[in-house]
A = this chain, B = another copy of it.
């Protein structure tokens, strides 16, 4: 999987608008610095990066989307970021770090989005989906060391040394333009979307959750185009398992312990067991292939 991801890295040329497009929002910092990393929920790295942020901007309000992104997994991180970021108010700075290439030639960037967010982190594709969803207003390479941590810069912890402090600087009101020179491109992952063909929708598992629910990248629109309506039976093939389950509004509409198909809160198709863990039951997770069709 990781090899495939590496191979899928492609650079897209972005057209920089000469003037602010109508309807775009200015980034005006609201003080929030919101982390999403693979540092581990409560690891020492979290304690360190938060200290580095406060040291740069004592007024920072630090919070997190999650720091439990699977280690090194840029694709998983890209999905998690785009699912959560949009809930935050305009003016939020996101510090997003899944960075297996730390210390190599990959760039460090900030993306200001068209809806008034900033995303700070390595330019390795992690921001692919967020950039698509929110639009790119400008990209800057993080070369201005005055916004970095005051002390020496390590080769292995750019969260502490660069991303945290730059995020804090932006949250404190430093203009995005001061982060460094403009870039015309960001690195994007070539992520597959779901597809509908021959009476079936196919996709992949984007994530599981602590209940054991399994979320795919198949959309509610895909179900609609297959003529699958609430109450219909759905044939599911997921990884090595196949089953048929009803399409329901919510979990408790099937008896405890039974399977269902549901549209989750971001509009994606989710597979679940009422009050049980489907992920444990079928031992499948991130990256597994999924196909759904209407049962006859």
Contact = CB atoms under 8 A, between A and B. Distances in A.
A238 interface: no
Interface in A250-296: 250-253, 256, 262-265, 270, 274-275, 277
B275 A100 contact: yes
A88 B51 contact: yes
A55 B89 contact: yes
A92 B46 CA distance: 17
Contacts of A36: 47
Interface string A137-175: 000000000000000001111001100000000000000
Given A30-B58, A251-B102, A83 B256 contact: no
Nearest to A161: B265
Contacts of A277: 71
Given A103-B250, A209-B44, A156 B63 contact: no
A89 B211 CA distance: 32
A57 to B, nearest CB: 10
Contacts of A104: 250, 252-253
Given A63-B62, A104-B250, A264-B154, A32 B44 contact: no
B156 A102 contact: no
Contact of A265 (B42, B54, B84, B157): B157
Contact of A66 (B43, B156, B161): B43
Given A54-B32, A103-B249, A43 B209 contact: yes
A210 interface: yes
Q: Say which size band chain A's interface belongs to.
A: 35 or more
A287 B87 CA distance: 37
A110 interface: no
Contacts of A3: 256
Contacts of A46: 64, 66
Given A2-B256, A32-B54, A71-B210, A156 B44 contact: no
A265 B154 contact: yes
A156 B209 contact: no
Contacts of A86: 51
Contact of A54 (B49, B88, B209, B274): B88
A20 interface: no
Nearest to A45: B209
Contacts of A188: none
A50 interface: yes
17 contacts: A30-B58, A41-B42, A41-B68, A42-B66, A43-B210, A46-B64, A47-B66, A49-B87, A51-B86, A71-B211, A72-B275, A100-B275, A155-B249, A155-B250, A156-B251, A156-B265, A160-B265
- Ranked 8 nearest A-B pairs via Cβ: A51-B87, A40-B210, A103-B250, A47-B65, A157-B265, A41-B42, A154-B265, A51-B88
